């Protein structure tokens, strides 16, 4: 870890209705693979992936919690978004109900999730453009409305199947995350520990000062 | 001892006393320059010693002070020993010493009264006995003069009352100094033994008295005793008195009831008197107006005979017995000025007493010839005769008709009027403001009373062993509503009388003290009661919780559906825990230690979650 290659860890959680392609996005991102016949997730899966932001020469490691979309596992979600730094609310552009569900998730996040969580609204299955049900313009308006209020909701569309726009999502999130704060916080601690151990602990620390802004 | 007498049993014949008075060159001549009326006592008062007639108690008091004291020196104050031992031969020194320090202390009290009077007042001030009118001729009793048996108390007690011992008295050294102020003790400052500790002090420092009793077997000095003899003591001993030392134990006598009773009776009698005077006044006005208005046409001035006629009629109205006889009265009954060629006698036409006139306002304005219109203006709504009411305008414009009234009668007649004018100030802006303030305050008071009424009820409900939840709940809700009302009313109050900036609205700036006071008290009240209410609620909740057994809390909480949901959650969690454990196992196998920490954390979270779920489910868990 040289100084000119900075490093930060973030916890990211995927939320959304079942079968919108959350796991597919993650797998595309992490392993760059796609499985047509993916089985539905049980509970929550854990994966990690690092990206490098070239402009700031920063390496960001995502600890990705891919939650199951099935109603049965709903009670698990709070445990994962409770101290997450970023949340992906995924919907299927060919399914109206999945978009509604994503909206619900955003609402819930605003209520329950820590202040300053980066929310990204992702429309998946861009490859099925001709079966589109959720109008892009409508989504843009909805996001604009949200952004008027306060925090930023990133809007993105992708296709896990052909990989279009998937990396883009994570890059956008990486830029939106408070990288500097985490790095500074890590620098204050001993560097040795910082590389491996701090992980979640660090990001928690980073969350606290942010939340203290309002309360 | 032959001089001792009980009050009211003169053994000195008046002649004797007079002789003494004449003999004594120091007897001050009686003068009453600024004496005031204290009581008007109609019966004749006589001096119990010399039988001289007196006008009232006040004068008698002075008379006794002035004349009879001098006849019996040593009577009033327990004089300093040495001097009094020299006794009758040196009354002047005695007096000199006494007067010296007394004058210092009491100057402000009775600066105009003769010096002897001060002596007695001091005894009064010492507060033990009241003063006695009889003196003590202890010319031949020099031993006794040293002891406190000489204090006025001895008049009502047996002659051979035990004396406080003197064996412990310190012998004066050649240059005696006061124990307390180090003043040299001499004739000027006095040499006094403290009866308690026996130390030598000056007059100033021994001007105290305590009740003492003689020491018992193993005691050397006299001890404090409530039932003992009043004895002179030094300041230290006075303030060492047990009841003064422990200030909390001072005996208090609550005289409020007695005072109230006396006040009501006093008020009632004076009200009766006022009613009587008003009735007379009405009659007089009726008569006067009739008399003058009917005769005025023919006469412009009134001859003496007519005056006599008026006076006769007035006598009749007042009642002949009330019309004081000119011959018997020598002093104005208000200011006690002796009538003479210049100070003339006048009858008050309302009460019939003889008062002086005060044309030149040199004295106190004891009586005045008041033009009738002025009185009528003030007393306009009395029950006058039809004639008076018919000729009201005429009367009001006629300043020639006058009536002589003494000061007291004037005050009595205008009493109600003054009272009214106090109660109903004129309808100015200020009074309107006051009305507004009080109307708002009234509303607040109603709510306040409600709170005051229900809060203790609520409290007692909570404390009572058989507490009924529903009743208590109702009370609680009610109090809550009242408190809310009260708060909103306070807001209204503030809105009305204060500006946004928190200052008082300038319209009400004159009443700012009142408004501030009300505001403060209201807020205090609210705060106190809110706190109390909160405490009580806490108590109530605890009681409620302890009253309800645990199942009753859990049972309604967990419906079947909830149980199902919770169970499902628990299942999911366990599943997840299993997954994570597997993951951890895999990852350790694969040596991907960088991913291990988040998983471990997550596992811990899951364990916690599972625990809490199981706790919630209780017996319904797996």
Q: Distance (Å) from the C-alpha of residue B554 to the closest C-alpha of chain A? A: 21
Phi, psi of B233 (to 5 degrees): -150, 170
Lowest-pLDDT range of B65-79, B375-389, B431-445, B515-529 = B65-79
- Closest A-chain CA to B601: A200
The pLDDT-based confidence of B125 (bands split at 50, 70, 90) is very low
The pLDDT-based confidence of B44 (bands split at 50, 70, 90) is low
Contact assignment for B576 to A44 by CB distance below 8 Å:
yes
Using the predicted structure, report yes or no on whether residue B175 has a pLDDT greater than 70: yes
Contact assignment for A79 to B606 by CB distance below 8 Å:
yes
- Closest B-chain CA to A70: B572
Pick the last residue of a domain from B205, B222, B247. Answer: B247
Quote the DSSP letter at residue B285: H
- Closest B-chain CA to A67: B576
Report for A53-67, A177-191, B10-24, B378-392: range of highest mean pLDDT: A53-67
Q: Which two tokens stand for residue B244?
A: 């003064």
Q: Is residue B441 part of a domain?
A: yes
The pLDDT-based confidence of B358 (bands split at 50, 70, 90) is low
Give every CB contact of residue B369 below 8 A, 6+ residues apart in sequence: B402, B403, B404
pLDDT digits (tens, 9 = 90+) for A94-125: 999 999 999 999 999 988 888 888 999 999 99
pTM for the model stands at 0.36
Using the predicted structure, report yes or no on whether residue B28 has a pLDDT greater than 50: no
- Nearest beta carbon to residue B579 from set A42, A48, A72: A42
| CA–CA separation, B347 and B336 (whole Å) | 15
| CA–CA separation, A108 and A117 (whole Å) | 12
| CA–CA separation, B370 and B410 (whole Å) | 10
Residues in chain B with CB shorter than 8 Å from the CB of A65 are 602
Pick the last residue of a domain from B93, B111, B129. Answer: B111
Phi, psi of A79 (to 5 degrees): -60, -30
Residues B373 and B497 in one domain: no
Residues B450 and B475 in one domain: yes
With beta carbons less than 8 A apart as the criterion, state whether B168 and B220 touch.
yes
Element containing residue B10 per DSSP (H, E): none
Q: Is residue B130 part of a domain?
A: yes
Contact assignment for B579 to A44 by CB distance below 8 Å:
yes
% of residues, chain A, pLDDT over 70: 83
| CA–CA separation, B271 and A37 (whole Å) | 111
Longest dimension (CA), chain A: 54
With beta carbons less than 8 A apart as the criterion, state whether A27 and A100 touch.
no
User: Sign (positive/negative) of CA torsion A149, A152, A155, A160?
Assistant: negative
The beta-strand segments (E) located in B237-290 are: none
The conformational region for residue B58 under phi > 0 = left, psi -120 to 50 = alpha, else beta, is alpha
Residue range A51-77: mean pLDDT, rounded? 89
CA end-to-end distance (rounded Å), chain B: 111
| CA–CA separation, B179 and B181 (whole Å) | 6
Among B602, B606, B609, most A C-beta atoms within 10 A, so best to mutate, is B602
pLDDT digits (tens, 9 = 90+) for B278-321: 888 888 888 888 887 776 555 444 444 556 777 788 788 888 88
- Closest A-chain CA to B579: A43
Residues in chain A with CB shorter than 8 Å from the CB of B579 are 42-44
Report which of residues B593 and B421 the model is more confident about: B593
Report which of residues B198 and B262 the model is more confident about: B262
Measured from the Cβ of residue A89, the count of other Cβ atoms closer than 10 Å reads 27
Q: Which two tokens stand for residue B463?
A: 């404390």
Residues in chain B with CB shorter than 8 Å from the CB of A80 are 602
Q: Is residue B157 part of a domain?
A: yes
Contact assignment for B573 to A42 by CB distance below 8 Å:
no
Contact assignment for A72 to B568 by CB distance below 8 Å:
yes
Contact assignment for B595 to A196 by CB distance below 8 Å:
no
Contact assignment for B576 to A72 by CB distance below 8 Å:
no
Phi, psi of A176 (to 5 degrees): -75, -20
3-state secondary structure B56-112: CHHHHHHHHHHHHHHHCCCCCCCCCHHHHHHHHHCHHHHHHHHHHHHHHHHCCCCCC
CATH number, domain at B371?
A: 3.30.40.10
Please choose, from the candidates A50, A70, A176, A75, the residue with its C-alpha nearest in 3D space to the C-alpha of residue A121. A176
Residues in chain B with CB shorter than 8 Å from the CB of A75 are 568-569, 572-573
Residues B18 and B148 in one domain: no
| CA–CA separation, B192 and B186 (whole Å) | 10
Residues in chain A with CB shorter than 8 Å from the CB of B593 are 196
Residues B406 and B446 in one domain: no
pLDDT digits (tens, 9 = 90+) for B296-308: 555 444 444 556 7
Quote the DSSP letter at residue B169: P
DSSP calls for B208-235:
EEEEEE---TT-SS-EE-TTSEEEEE-H
List Cα–Cα distances, B601 to A180, A189, B449, in angstroms.
24, 20, 59
With beta carbons less than 8 A apart as the criterion, state whether B498 and B507 touch.
no
Using the predicted structure, report yes or no on whether residue B519 has a pLDDT greater than 70: yes
User: Sign (positive/negative) of CA torsion B129, B132, B134, B139?
Assistant: positive
With beta carbons less than 8 A apart as the criterion, state whether A115 and A206 touch.
no
DSSP calls for B505-547:
PGGGGGGHHHHHHHHHHHHHHHHHHHHHHHHHHHHHHHHHHHH
Q: Is residue B36 part of a domain?
A: yes
Beta bridge partners of B368: B405
The pLDDT-based confidence of B151 (bands split at 50, 70, 90) is very low
Phi, psi of B465 (to 5 degrees): -65, -40
Q: Distance (Å) from the C-alpha of residue A43 to the closest C-alpha of chain B? A: 5
Helical residues (DSSP H) of chain A, grouped into ranges: 22-31, 77-81, 96-112, 136-149, 166-176, 179-188, 191-196, 199-211
Q: Distance (Å) from the C-alpha of residue B497 to the closest C-alpha of chain A? A: 35
Contact assignment for B575 to A42 by CB distance below 8 Å:
yes
Helical residues (DSSP H) of B398-467, grouped into ranges: 407-413, 415-423, 429-463
Among B564, B568, B570, B572, most A C-beta atoms within 10 A, so best to mutate, is B572
Supply the pLDDT for residue B264.
Answer: 92
Q: Is residue B3 part of a domain?
A: no
Residue with tokens 């005031």: B36
Burial class (CB in 10 A: 0-12, 13-18, 19+), A194: buried
| CA–CA–CA angle B566, B567, B568 (5° rounding) | 90
The conformational region for residue B210 under phi > 0 = left, psi -120 to 50 = alpha, else beta, is beta
Q: Distance (Å) from the C-alpha of residue B558 to the closest C-alpha of chain A? A: 17
Contact assignment for A199 to B598 by CB distance below 8 Å:
yes
Residues B92 and B181 in one domain: no
Pick the last residue of a domain from B399, B423, B447. Answer: B423
Supply the pLDDT for residue B133.
Answer: 43
Supply the pLDDT for residue B118.
Answer: 42
- Nearest beta carbon to residue A46 from set B568, B599, B609: B599
Residues B515 and B600 in one domain: yes
Residues B548 and B609 in one domain: yes
Question: Per CB distance under 8 Å, which residues of A are interface residues toward B?
Answer: 11, 42-44, 46, 48, 61, 63, 65, 72-73, 75-76, 79-80, 196-197, 199-200
Query: Per the structure, how many domains does chain B have?
Result: 4
Residue B161: which domain range?
Answer: 117-247
Residues B521 and B409 in one domain: no
Phi, psi of A38 (to 5 degrees): -70, 140
- Closest A-chain CA to B577: A43
pLDDT digits (tens, 9 = 90+) for B231-243: 888 888 888 877 7
Residues in chain A with CB shorter than 8 Å from the CB of B601 are 199-200
Q: Is residue B232 part of a domain?
A: yes
Contact assignment for B597 to A197 by CB distance below 8 Å:
yes
B135-139, long-range: CB < 8 A, 24+ apart: B135/B3, B135/B5, B135/B68, B135/B69, B135/B71, B135/B72, B135/B74, B135/B75, B136/B3, B136/B4, B136/B72, B136/B74, B136/B75, B137/B2, B137/B3, B137/B4, B137/B72, B138/B1, B138/B3, B138/B74, B138/B87, B139/B3, B139/B87, B139/B88
Report which of residues A93 and B81 the model is more confident about: A93
User: Sign (positive/negative) of CA torsion A114, A120, A124, A130?
Assistant: positive
Q: Distance (Å) from the C-alpha of residue B565 to the closest C-alpha of chain A? A: 9
Residues B356 and B393 in one domain: yes
pLDDT digits (tens, 9 = 90+) for B388-434: 888 888 778 877 778 888 888 888 888 877 777 776 655 566 677 77
Contact assignment for B594 to A46 by CB distance below 8 Å:
no
Report which of residues B181 and A88 the model is more confident about: A88
Question: Per CB distance under 8 Å, which residues of B are interface residues toward A?
Answer: 568-569, 572-573, 575-576, 579-580, 583, 593-595, 597-599, 601-602, 605-606, 609
Q: Is residue B7 part of a domain?
A: no
| CA–CA separation, B441 and A115 (whole Å) | 48
List Cα–Cα distances, B388 to B220, B290, B372, B405, in angstroms.
85, 7, 12, 20
Q: Distance (Å) from the C-alpha of residue A148 to the closest C-alpha of chain B? A: 33
Q: Distance (Å) from the C-alpha of residue B572 to the closest C-alpha of chain A? A: 6
- Nearest beta carbon to residue A79 from set B583, B594, B605: B605
Supply the pLDDT for residue A211.
Answer: 43
List Cα–Cα distances, B251 to B243, B531, B538, in angstroms.
8, 37, 42
Give every CB contact of residue B602 below 8 A, 6+ residues apart in sequence: A46, A65, A79, A80, B580
Contact assignment for B598 to A63 by CB distance below 8 Å:
yes
Q: Is residue B389 part of a domain?
A: yes
pLDDT digits (tens, 9 = 90+) for A148-163: 876 678 899 999 999 8
Size of interface A-B (CB pairs under 8 A): 47
- Closest A-chain CA to B595: A48
- Closest A-chain CA to B564: A72
Residues B133 and B103 in one domain: no
Supply the pLDDT for residue A123.
Answer: 93
Residue with tokens 């004058």: B103
Supply the pLDDT for residue B428.
Answer: 62
Supply the pLDDT for residue B557.
Answer: 61
- Nearest beta carbon to residue B572 from set A46, A76, A196: A76
List Cα–Cα distances, B507 to B426, B438, B491, B498, B500, in angstroms.
18, 15, 18, 10, 14
CA end-to-end distance (rounded Å), chain A: 36
- Residue B462's Cα: distance from chain center in Å? 40
Give every CB contact of residue A45 below 8 A, 6+ residues apart in sequence: A23, A26, A65, A66
Residues in chain B with CB shorter than 8 Å from the CB of A61 are 594
Contact assignment for B595 to A75 by CB distance below 8 Å:
no
Residues B265 and B312 in one domain: yes
Mean pLDDT across chain B: 73
Using the predicted structure, report yes or no on whether residue B513 has a pLDDT greater than 70: yes
Element containing residue B165 per DSSP (H, E): none
Strands across the sheet with A6-16, in order? A44-53, A58-67, A6-16, A86-92, A118-124, A153-157
Supply the pLDDT for residue B210.
Answer: 85
Residues B236 and B265 in one domain: no
Residues in chain B with CB shorter than 8 Å from the CB of A79 are 602, 605-606, 609
Supply the pLDDT for residue A24.
Answer: 93
């Amino acid at each position: 870890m040289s100084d000119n290659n900075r490093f930060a860890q973030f916890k990211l959680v995927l939320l959304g209705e079942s079968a919108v392609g959350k796991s597919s996005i993650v797998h595309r991102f992490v392993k760059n693979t796609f499985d047509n016949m993916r089985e539905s997730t049980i509970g929550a899966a854990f994966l990690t992936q690092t990206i490098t932001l070239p402009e700031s020469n920063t390496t960001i490691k995502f600890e990705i919690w891919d939650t199951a979309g099935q109603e049965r596992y709903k009670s698990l979600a709070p445990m994962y978004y409770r101290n997450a730094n970023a949340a992906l609310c995924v919907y299927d552009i060919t399914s109206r109900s999945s978009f509604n569900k994503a909206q619900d998730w955003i609402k819930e996040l605003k209520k329950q999730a820590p202040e300053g969580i980066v929310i990204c609204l992702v429309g998946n299955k861009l490859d099925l453009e001709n079966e589109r049900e959720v109008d892009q313009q409508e989504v843009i308006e909805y996001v604009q409305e949200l952004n008027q209020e306060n925090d930023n909701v990133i809007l993105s569309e992708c296709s896990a199947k052909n990989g279009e726009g998937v990396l883009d999502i994570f890059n956008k999130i990486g830029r939106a995350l408070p990288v500097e704060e985490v790095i500074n916080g890590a620098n204050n601690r001993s560097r040795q520990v910082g590389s491996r151990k701090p992980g979640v602990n660090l990001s928690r620390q980073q969350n606290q000062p942010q939340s203290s802004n309002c309360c | 001892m032959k001089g001792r007498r009980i009050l009211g049993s003169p053994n000195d014949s008046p002649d004797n006393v007079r002789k003494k008075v004449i003999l004594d060159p120091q007897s001050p001549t009686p003068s009453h320059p600024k004496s005031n009326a204290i009581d008007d006592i109609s019966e004749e008062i006589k001096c119990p010693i010399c039988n001289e007639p007196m006008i009232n108690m006040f004068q008698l008091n002075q008379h006794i002070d002035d004349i009879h004291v001098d006849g019996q020196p040593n009577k009033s104050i327990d004089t300093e020993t040495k001097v009094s031992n020299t006794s009758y031969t040196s009354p002047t020194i005695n007096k000199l010493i006494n007067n010296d320090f007394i004058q210092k202390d009491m100057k402000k009290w009775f600066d105009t009264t003769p010096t002897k009077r001060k002596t007695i007042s001091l005894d009064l001030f010492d507060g033990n006995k009241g003063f006695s009118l009889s003196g003590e001729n202890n010319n031949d009793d020099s031993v006794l003069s040293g002891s406190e048996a000489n204090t006025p108390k001895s008049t009502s007690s047996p002659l051979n009352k035990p004396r406080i011992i003197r064996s412990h008295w310190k012998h004066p050294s050649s240059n005696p100094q006061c124990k307390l102020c180090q003043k040299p003790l001499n004739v000027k400052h006095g040499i006094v033994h403290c009866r308690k500790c026996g130390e030598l002090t000056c007059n100033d420092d021994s001007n105290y008295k305590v009740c003492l009793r003689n020491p018992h077997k193993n005691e050397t000095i006299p001890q404090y005793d409530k039932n003992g003899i009043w004895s002179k003591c030094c300041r230290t001993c006075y303030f060492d008195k047990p009841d003064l030392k422990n200030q909390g134990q001072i005996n208090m006598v609550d005289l409020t009831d007695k005072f109230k009773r006396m006040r009501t009776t006093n008020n009632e009698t004076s009200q009766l008197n006022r009613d009587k005077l008003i009735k007379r006044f009405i009659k007089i006005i009726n008569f006067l107006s009739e008399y003058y208005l009917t005769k005025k046409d023919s006469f412009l001035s009134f001859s003496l005979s007519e005056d006599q006629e008026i006076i006769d009629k007035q006598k009749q109205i007042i009642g002949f017995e009330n019309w004081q006889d000119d011959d018997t009265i020598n002093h104005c009954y208000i200011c006690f000025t002796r009538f003479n060629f210049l100070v003339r006698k006048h009858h008050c036409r309302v009460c019939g007493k003889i008062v002086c006139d005060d044309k030149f306002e040199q004295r106190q304005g004891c009586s005045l010839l008041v033009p009738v219109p002025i009185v009528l203006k003030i007393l306009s709504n009395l029950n006058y005769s039809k004639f008076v009411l018919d000729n009201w305008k005429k009367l009001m414009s006629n300043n020639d008709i006058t009536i002589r009234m003494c000061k007291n009668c004037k005050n009595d007649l205008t009493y109600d009027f003054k009272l009214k004018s106090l109660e109903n100030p004129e309808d100015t802006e200020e009074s309107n403001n006051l009305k507004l303030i009080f109307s708002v305050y009234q509303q607040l008071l109603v709510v306040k009373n409600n709170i005051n009424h229900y809060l203790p009820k609520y409290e007692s409900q909570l404390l009572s062993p058989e507490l009924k939840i529903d009743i208590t709940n109702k009370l609680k809700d009610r109090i809550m509503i009242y408190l809310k009302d009260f708060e909103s009313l306070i807001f209204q109050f503030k809105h009305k009388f204060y500006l946004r900036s928190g200052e008082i609205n300038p319209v009400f700036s004159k009443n700012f003290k009142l408004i501030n006071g009300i505001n403060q008290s209201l807020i205090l009240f609210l705060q106190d009661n809110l706190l109390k209410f909160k405490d009580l609620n806490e108590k109530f909740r605890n009681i409620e919780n302890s009253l309800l057994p645990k199942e009753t809390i859990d049972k309604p909480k967990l419906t079947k559906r909830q149980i199902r949901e919770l169970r499902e959650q628990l299942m999911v969690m366990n599943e997840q825990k299993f997954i994570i454990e597997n993951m951890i196992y895999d990852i350790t196998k694969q040596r991907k230690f960088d991913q291990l920490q988040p998983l471990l954390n997550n596992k811990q979270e899951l364990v916690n979650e599972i625990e809490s779920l199981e706790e919630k489910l209780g017996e319904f868990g797996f």
